[in-house]
Amino acid sequence: MSRHEARRNEILVAALAVLAREGIAETTTRKIAAEANVNQAMLRYYFGSKDELLFAVLRELMRRTQDIVRQAAQGHTSWRDVIANGLRAFWEHVEREPELQIMQYELTLYALRHTDSAWLAQQQYSGYSRVVEEALRDYIAPDTCSLSFSELARFIIGGLDGLILQFISDRDPARARRDLEHLITAVIALAESR
């Protein structure tokens, strides 16, 4: 990794930390720069605008999600196991870092409230759909699934969104895990239905 890439990653990690800790309303480029030990000019050099930095944060979170799903899929030959283990692994991440989930919802709402930033919300959901769709495409034969991969991906994301919102509201991991198992059962049944 070049020095430029390393510095950019340090700033990205700092942005994630500040956003998760303080929320989007309290996050400023000044706070991110201080967390990263750089000046604001350096922040602008690497990311341009605040929206571009927020988009980089979303891309980083998508990359992490993709890594979680790929790792969970390793060693499994059954697509049903890949779906179940991928969703369970992602859920472990949700329970471990719920503040990142809160931050993502804040980013979505921020983007939707600011016309100039609305593209962030669209990019966020299309990006997550792409990540899930690619994972499905990698492990499920197209003639096996009754829905298109994009439809199944949106169903999975919609189900996860609901579970995440409930979990970050009440922090009941036992109930959330039971509900996750119902989602897994529903996803597999939906994929298999003809």
Q: How many CA atoms lie within 13 A of 83 on its CB side?
A: 28
Residue 142, pLDDT score:
79
Q: What is the pLDDT along the chain (194 residues), one digit of tens a residue?
A: 899 899 999 999 999 999 999 999 899 999 999 999 999 999 999 999 888 998 899 889 988 988 998 898 888 778 999 999 999 999 999 999 999 999 999 989 988 998 888 888 888 899 999 999 998 998 888 788 889 999 999 999 999 999 999 999 999 999 999 999 999 999 999 998 76
Distance of CA 130 to the CA centre of its chain: 11
**What is the per-residue burial (b if ≥16 Cβ within 10 Å, else e) of 2-23?**
eeeeebbeebbebbbebbbeee
- Other CB atoms within a 10 A radius of the CB of residue 113 amount to 10
Q: How far apart are CA 175 and CA 167, in angstroms?
A: 9
Cβ contacts of 89 within 8 Å, gap of 6 or more: 68, 69, 71, 72
Q: Which of 61, 113, 94 is nearest to 165 (CA)?
A: 94
Residue 194, pLDDT score:
60
**pTM of this structure:** 0.89
Terminal-to-terminal C-alpha distance of the chain? 48
Domains plus CATH for the chain?
A: 1-48 (1.10.10.60), 50-192 (1.10.357.10)
